[in-house]
A and B are shown apart, each in its own frame.
Chain A
Amino acid sequence: MHHMLHIKNGIVIDPKNGIKAEKMDIFVKEGKIVEESEIDKSQCKVIDASNKLVVAGGVDMHAHIAGSKINTGRTMRPEEMRMVRQIANKFRATVGRVLLTSPAIGYEYAKMGYTTSFEAAQPPIGALHTHEELDAIPMVDKAALPVFGNWHFVLKYVAEKDIEKLKTFIAWAIERTKGFGVKVVNPGGVEAWMYGKNCRNLDDEVPNFGITPREIITSLIKATEELNLCHSVHLHCNNLGNPGNFETTIETMKLANGFSNDKRQVLHVTHVQFNAYAGSSWRDVGSGAAEIAKYVNSVDNITIDMGAAIFGHATAMTGDAPFQFTLHKLLNARWSNKDSEIEGGAGIVPLMYLPKNPVHALQWAIGLELGLLIDSDKVVLTTDFPNGGPFTEYPYVMAMLMSKKMREKELEKVSPFVQKAANLPSIETEKSLEEVIHMTRDLPARILGLENKGHLGVGADADIAIYNLNPNEIDASNDYELINKAFRNALYTIKGGTIIVKDGQLVEEVWGTTYWVDATKNVDMKAIEDDLNEYFDLYYSIEKENYGVEEAWIKNPTRLVMG
């Protein structure tokens, strides 16, 4: 039910519109934020937000919330499903410790004041499954990023240096999978994994294609920019999870040199915590976060997200199949390997971050270092759910970024290895509330190219969170517990103008939209038709005609036409 809303006397922080903790009113009509003159005050519901923080709904730009990976994780981790979160009442029953069931994902985001979440790695052939699961997640707007970096068509066109065909293929693939952008996972490395190998360096050759990760990444950036997609290439770097990999990460970032875009970055490097290790082995491993931060701060065409590690249970799930095998061997943990035909693969490994484990403590520290050392306009707060831990711990990360005192207290509980291997103990930076709001709202929205998300300007979607915090009174560096608590349970979460959470409790179920990008306008599909027919004939287990997802099959789709 859409109400007209008048959110009265709230203390608004809206970085995109330059509003820094000002007392002001917000007006909502038909799911959008409008001018005061547009609403009829006699019919409007008034929310008294006096002395409360009013911000845009949170935007999670990188989480694994739907599709075959999280579902395989659920299947192989029955122990995750013993935690009952909610028995069926007006809302659906939910279970799950970290690997939540689909409705639990929507509900938990809503309780935290988050209203948008993107599935960050969709195996293209599993697109239908992914969309069916996204359709089972209530409360939030969503989308999925199909993975391109090891898809044989991509490798073929990169080898042929045919950017036009690559562009056409990307447009075809995003349309067919109803995807949102170009996700790249360990480019070339997963193809090499088909032969038991990996591509750990940018110049390792991809078997049978005579190309390198360097060429794949550069070509995909070029194609994405020429297609002018709303989101840039979203890259999971090569050499993930290995000591010394921060150098590979910086080398990779340099591939964006020479590309620029007025509206956004040209390369988003994701869950950088897993790609920011110094040293040469697990014995002398250290933090490479400072070097990465230095590079990211020096350029204006790259953004990253943290991929922070949270102590406790997690499940590693990524399209980076060779890394998952390494992790399985390292941890002696369960392992599932997935193959998505000629598109790539994936792996799933359960894990747990222990504070007393030197490596885990280092990972925890590196995630936070990235958040602290990198300019708030370039780093998004994520845990790469469920790889670094549950998204329900975002408030913990927010509080940690804002309080040196809290970090000192937490550092006492972790392995002393961190003291020598990481920079965290010596970092004095405390992010402001405004910066943390920026890192969780308008920055991810800008990176994704969603103009109506992450801010409270007129015309924006009425996705609003109100928290029990007065920004003008709170001293975040001392009152970190209040910050941590307030962001866990929103006083109000408003999604598209509907109040869905009140006092941290669900009050109404709504169904968000699924965004998908249509970039087919400026390409000629005929250019790749023969190749598609040939590959589907020779290599795919299904017919081309049966491949993909029709818009009508999605519950509530929104098509974004690129042109």
Chain B
Amino acid sequence: MLIIKPKVDFVVSVEAEITPDIADDLEKAKNFEVYYGKDKVKLEDLFEITKEGDDKKLVLDGDFSKVKWIGCRMEDGEIVVKGNVGANCGAYMKGGKIIIEGNADDWLGAEMSGGEIIVKGNAKNCIGCAYYGDMQGMKGGKITIEGNAINYIGEKMAGGEIEIKGNAGDFIGTEMTNGLIVIHGDCGFVGGDMKGGEIRIGGKFELMPTFKKSEEGFVGDINVGGKGVVKTL
């Protein structure tokens, strides 16, 4: 297990594609290359790194809200963030677990295909979405947000599950083809151009007029011949 603490308050964003793969070797971790703004630096230049035990785990202790791409493409192991985390956390993730004790930023778990992300606080926009231009968003795994999220949840989602225990904003499951989105609170527009999958909502929400009421719930989006289901929890 590595404990990683920021040495300073970051003036610009840090792009650090760190995964639990670096946990086995302290030297490797210290020399891991990250970007600080436009400069390529070593992880140890920005963070204090200590090793405790041999488990495949990273503990990020402090404010990581300016640190992007944490856990990007990770396949196994565990990352615990004891604070806030920056954008693109868990993007393209295939396996393992990320626990964020504070808040998450945009693009959480974007295009992930496996593994689990748990956010104890709030998250922002584009959770489990497809990056601009790509055909599929989240394909597998699970994202749980204990607090609230904002807009664009599970855009082009093709599998897996997103659960938001608080409220969310607009554009939930846009162009979704498969998978499950559960929102316990209220949200805005739901299911535009949805082709498949299911959205369950606990509170109030707004539905496009292109959904048909059926026994299962609301089925659509009929604009695109979709068979997605939107229903109340």
Contacts and interface: CB of A to CB of B under 8 A. Distances in A.
Nearest to A76: B133
Contacts of A82: 131
A79 interface: yes
Nearest to A333: B135
Contacts of B133: 76-80
Interface string B126-160: 00000111100000000000000000000000000
Given A77-B133, A79-B131, A82-B131, 8 more contacts: A76-B133, A78-B131, A78-B132, A78-B133, A79-B132, A79-B133, A79-B134, A80-B133
Nearest to B131: A79
A79 B132 CA distance: 6
Interface of B: 131-134
B160 to A, nearest CB: 21
A449 B15 CA distance: 52
A78 B133 CA distance: 6
B226 to A, nearest CB: 13
Main secondary structure of the interface of A (DSSP, over half): helix
B139 to A, nearest CB: 16
Nearest to B224: A332
Contacts of A77: 133
9 contacts: A76-B133, A77-B133, A78-B133, A79-B131, A79-B132, A79-B133, A79-B134, A80-B133, A82-B131
A375 to B, nearest CB: 42
Nearest to B132: A78
A82 B111 CA distance: 15
Of B132, B133, B134, most buried by chain A (CB within 10 Å of CB) is B133
B17 to A, nearest CB: 14
B15 to A, nearest CB: 13
Interface in A33-90: 76-80, 82
A82 B88 CA distance: 15
Contacts of B131: 78-79, 82
B221 to A, nearest CB: 15
Nearest to B134: A79
Contacts of B134: 79
B225 to A, nearest CB: 11
Contacts of A76: 133
Interface in A82-106: 82
A77 B132 CA distance: 8
A70 to B, nearest CB: 16
A183 B131 CA distance: 37
A80 B134 CA distance: 10
A387 to B, nearest CB: 19
| Most chain A CB atoms below 10 A, which of B131, B132, B134 | B132
Nearest 3 pairs of A and B residues by beta carbon: A79-B133, A78-B132, A78-B133
